[in-house]
């Protein structure tokens, strides 16, 4: 009997539910709240909580319907416990606790960053009739892969380098000390009136512009670690825009060139630290070689970032692995289901009625 998992993510501004089996995605419903938060220029926590509350039940129902699975066929419920916005997380966790308890199913608490990490392992269903005939092969928790791999999670809330020793065994080796890469792009986007979230529009504009038109500093070059920082870039962009607008309002070409230059600066800061890590690792004979570099998180949808990372990792004969669809990059519950399959057998407690949201949960810790 295949282990169908109902997965739920309400960590930020997307209400999402999915049905997965092993690493196969049978359905993945995402109700975006972008329209609700646009006027605030960012995510407004109480608005997010209310929207999650209104949407969670229909989103779960739709995920089951699209997967062709009835609640009685489920083996477990997986839910994002953290990190994320506390009031938003609470809605998913409380819903999942009640749902799992009612159906006497195990509840698997999942780390959202682990979801982004394992999103590269997700596979689409092969045909619409696959649901009931899911073969034994697809019920395997994770595909055969060689480890360790290096995962890069680049999103609106996080910028992390994590060594994956095995699915479930992680070592955080680098992170941002202030803003996340996506957050920096969003804040920059607001300065040039691109709306929220600005990342996708910055990408479109950047394609038309000159990344060398404006010079931005390369941060954290003197530190002998893999920590990153993006808030200085944001300040530098603000100054540059103030300088330009003191003369005249920004021209369209200036906005386009600012997008290209700022995006390049953010991505260069990431590839610089990635190269620094790989250089150090490959110079150390006690470190096992890596078997690939994985990319996840909302900013992972950006094709320029992918290109720059690919170029960096190819120097070390490594491949860059990305999720099978851009929908798997931004927040979604399917990636939470994939993690659920990894941890399914660790959870023997039937309802886990005591779990609580963990807004600051670091991946790789309990």
Q: Tell me, residue by residue from 30 to 69, as one string, x for binding to ligand KG4 by CB under 6 A and - for no binding.
A: ----------------------------------------
Q: Tell me, residue by residue from 141 to 160, as one string, x for binding to ligand KG4 by CB under 6 A and - for no binding.
A: --------------xxx---
Please state the closest distance from residue 300 (CB atom) to ligand KG4, in A: 8
For 71, counting Cβ atoms within 10 Å of its Cβ (0-12 exposed, 13-18 middle, 19+ buried), the class is: middle
Q: Which of residues 326-345 bind Zn ion (CB under 5 A)?
A: 331
Give the one residue of 155, 263, 302, 312 binding Zn ion; rule: CB under 5 A. 155
Binding partner of residue 182 among ligand KG4, Zn ion, none, CB cut-off 5 to 8 Å per kind: ligand KG4
Helix H segments across the chain? 34-37, 45-67, 86-103, 112-118, 136-139, 181-191, 199-208, 231-247, 252-283, 303-314, 334-343
167-185 as b/e, with b when 16 or more CB fall inside 10 Å? Answer: beebebbbbbeebbbbbbb
Distance of alpha carbon 56 from alpha carbon 36, whole angstroms: 16
Treating both helix axes as pointing N-terminal to C-terminal, what angle do 181-191 and 231-247 enclose, rounded to 10 degrees?
A: 10
Q: Does residue 185 touch ligand KG4 according to CB under 6 A?
A: yes
Which among 41, 21, 65, 110 is positioned nearest to 331, based on CA atoms?
110
Q: Which residue number, 273 or 352, has a Cβ lying nearer to ligand KG4?
A: 273
Q: Tell me, residue by residue from 310 to 339, as one string, x for binding to ligand KG4 by CB under 6 A and - for no binding.
A: --------------------xx--------
Secondary element (H or E) of residue 159: strand 159-166
Give the one residue of 106, 148, 197, 292 binding ligand KG4; rule: CB under 6 A. 197
Q: Which of residues 225-284 bind ligand KG4 (CB under 6 A)?
A: none
Q: Tell me, residue by residue from 201 to 220, as one string, x for binding to ligand KG4 by CB under 6 A and - for no binding.
A: --x-----------------
Contact 364, 172 (CB under 8 A): yes
The residues that touch Zn ion, with contacts defined as CB under 5 A, are 155, 331
The residues that touch ligand KG4, with contacts defined as CB under 6 A, are 12, 155-157, 182-183, 185-186, 197-200, 203, 297-299, 301-302, 330-331
């Amino acid at each position: 009997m295949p282990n169908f998992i109902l997965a739920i993510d309400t960590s930020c501004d997307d209400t999402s539910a999915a049905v997965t089996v092993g690493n196969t995605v049978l359905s993945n419903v995402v109700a975006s709240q972008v329209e609700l938060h646009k006027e605030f220029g960012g995510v407004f926590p109480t608005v997010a909580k209310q929207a999650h509350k209104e949407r969670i039940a229909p989103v779960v129902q739709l995920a089951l319907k699209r997967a062709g699975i009835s609640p009685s066929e489920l083996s477990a419920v997986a839910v994002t416990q953290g990190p994320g916005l506390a009031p938003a997380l609470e809605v998913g966790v409380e819903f999942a606790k009640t749902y799992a308890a009612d159906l006497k199913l195990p509840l698997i608490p999942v780390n959202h960053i682990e979801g982004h990490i394992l999103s590269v392992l997700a596979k689409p269903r092969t045909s619409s009739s696959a649901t009931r005939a899911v073969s034994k092969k697809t019920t395997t928790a994770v595909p055969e892969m060689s480890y360790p791999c290096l995962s890069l999670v680049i999103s609106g809330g996080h910028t992390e380098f994590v060594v994956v020793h095995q699915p479930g065994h992680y070592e955080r080796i680098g992170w941002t000390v202030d803003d996340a890469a996506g957050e920096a792009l969003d804040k920059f986007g607001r300065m040039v009136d691109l709306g929220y979230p600005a990342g996708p529009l910055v990408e479109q504009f950047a394609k038309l512009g000159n990344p060398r038109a404006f010079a931005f500093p390369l941060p954290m070059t003197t530190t002998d670690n893999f920590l990153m920082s993006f808030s200085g870039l944001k300040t530098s962009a603000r100054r540059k825009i103030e300088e330009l607008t003191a003369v005249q309002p920004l021209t369209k070409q200036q906005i386009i060139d600012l997008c290209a230059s700022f995006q390049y600066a953010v991505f260069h800061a990431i590839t610089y630290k990635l190269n620094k890590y790989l250089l150090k690792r490959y110079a150390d004979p006690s470190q096992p070689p890596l078997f690939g570099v994985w990319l996840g998180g909302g900013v992972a949808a950006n094709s320029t970032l992918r290109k720059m990372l690919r170029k960096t990792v190819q120097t070390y004969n490594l491949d860059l692995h990305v999720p099978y669809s851009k929908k798997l990059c931004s927040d979604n519950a399917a990636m939470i289901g994939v993690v659920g399959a990894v941890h399914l057998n660790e959870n023997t407690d039937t309802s886990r009625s005591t779990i609580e949201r963990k807004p600051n949960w670091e991946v790789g810790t309990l």
